Amino acid sequence: MHHFKIPLLLLSSILWIVSGTEASIPFAFEAAALLAASPRSNHVACLRSSGLTPWPPSGNFKDKGYKLAIVIDDFGYRPVNENKILQLPLPISIAILPHAPYARSMAIKAHNQGREILIHLPMAPLSKQPLERDTLHPQMGVEEIQRIIRQAIINVPYAVGMNNHMGSAMTSNLPAMKKVMQVLDQYQLYFLDSLTISNSQVSRAAQGTGSKL
């Protein structure tokens, strides 16, 4: 795809977000095909969204008014590989795990490059997997969710949005996601659904709150 090779194997996951009708973007399919070969293709998402990092002006992609944002997540643990990604001359947004050892330094570095920063907030999956510290669970009260999000904002400076790390149990739970949206509303962070489950309740949960999706 183009002449940049994204070091896919270095990454545990990438999100591609397309606004518009993704069916008319062969490019997105090419990307998706590449990603299907990646270790965690469940993190591939095509969403209709806006206000995200625009793809550089090229070809008829832009003429049609589409935007493609690339978010690379799970940042904060592998500085050598992550620095290689930051060297790519592409408008890649970075989603950082708030309790990762390099969370703060990567956020500062990526922000200084003009990149958009997201908090990659760990949320409970349905399957049994090793969990990050402060993983959100559906049973948590709004105060605990608030404490976790407040700490994540401290640990990941310059973040303007949030997406979920794992989270199939959390994002499919409407009352739980309503609590998250209530807290995000206070901090003016947008939420990007990583779509780790097909019956995600995220957009329903955001209804009636000021939270942007």
Residues that bind Zn ion (CB under 5 A): 73-74, 165
Nearer CB in complex with Zn ion: 73/193: 73
Tokens of 116: 């958009």
CB of 200 to Zn ion, least distance (A): 15
Length of the chain: 213
Q: Are 71 and 95 in contact (CB under 8 A)?
A: yes
Tokens of 114: 């003009």
Nearer CB in complex with Zn ion: 61/73: 73
DSSP-assigned letter for residue 51: S
Nearer CB in complex with Zn ion: 25/195: 195
Q: Are 50 and 77 in contact (CB under 8 A)?
A: no
CB of 124 to Zn ion, least distance (A): 13
CB of 138 to Zn ion, least distance (A): 18
**Contacts for 146 with CB less than 8 Å, ≥ 6 apart:** 183, 186
- Give strand pairing partners of 71: 15, 93
The H-assigned helical ranges of the chain are 26-36, 59-63, 79-86, 103-112, 142-155, 168-171, 174-187, 202-206
Burial class of 114 by CB neighbour count within 10 A (0 to 12, 13 to 18, 19+): exposed
CB of 19 to Zn ion, least distance (A): 22
Q: Closest-CB residue for Zn ion?
A: 165
Nearer CB in complex with Zn ion: 12/151: 12
Nearer CB in complex with Zn ion: 25/162: 162
- Give strand pairing partners of 117: 94, 159
CA angle 163, 32, 94 (to 5 degrees): 30
Strands (E) across 8-62 are located at 14-19
Nearer CB in complex with Zn ion: 73/82: 73
CB of 39 to Zn ion, least distance (A): 11
CB of 170 to Zn ion, least distance (A): 13
